[in-house]
Amino acid sequence: MVIGLILFVVKVVLVVLEAKLYTKQQRYNMMWMEMATAATKMSHCVRRQVGCVIVKDGKVISTGWNGTPKGFDNCCEHTDTGETLPYTIHAEANALDKLARFGGIGCENAEAYITTQPCLACAIRLANSGVKSVYYRESYRDQIGSQFLENAGIPVFKI
C-alpha cells in the first residue's frame, strides 16, 4: 500500500516536471507523433510499419499508414522475395488520399507527423498539398525527401 502510494506520487511528480520541461507546442508535437505511432498498428506490412497524422489548426484532419490499395490483399511484400510490392501505398500518400476522398478540407498550412522520414515521392506530394512543416521520428535510408522539402521552404524536424 505504501509502496503503491510512493510510486503514484513519483509518477505525478514526473508528469509535473515533464510538463515544465517542454513547451505546450512540444507537448502537442509529442502527442501527434504518438498518434502517428498508433497508426502504424494498422499497417499489415512486415518490413516497416509507418504512420502519418496530418494536423491543421490544432486538429487532426487525417491519418494514414502504409499498406495496399483499397480492394487488394493486405500484404505489402512479395511472398517469395520479401520485397515491397510496387503498389504499396506510403503512409503520407494514404493520409493525403483520404483527405482528397473524404475530407475536402485541404492541407494548406497543415503539419505532417510521420514515424519515418518521407521519401522523395511523398515529400513532393506533401509540398504540393500545402503542408507547411514536417515532423518525423526515424530516419529513412536517404535524405533526399527532407532535402527537397527544405529546398521548397518547408521545415523538417526530427523529434
Catalytic residues: 92
- Return the H-helix or E-strand segment holding 92: helix 91-98
Placement of cell 506510403 in the chain: 90
For residue 25, give the nearest of 55, 53, 64 by alpha carbon.
55
* Nearest-angstrom CA–CA distance, 131 and 136: 14
* Nearest-angstrom CA–CA distance, 109 and 29: 16
| CA atoms within 13 Å, Cβ hemisphere of 37 | 10
State how far the alpha carbon of 51 is from the alpha carbons of 23, 81, 112, in Å: 24, 24, 10
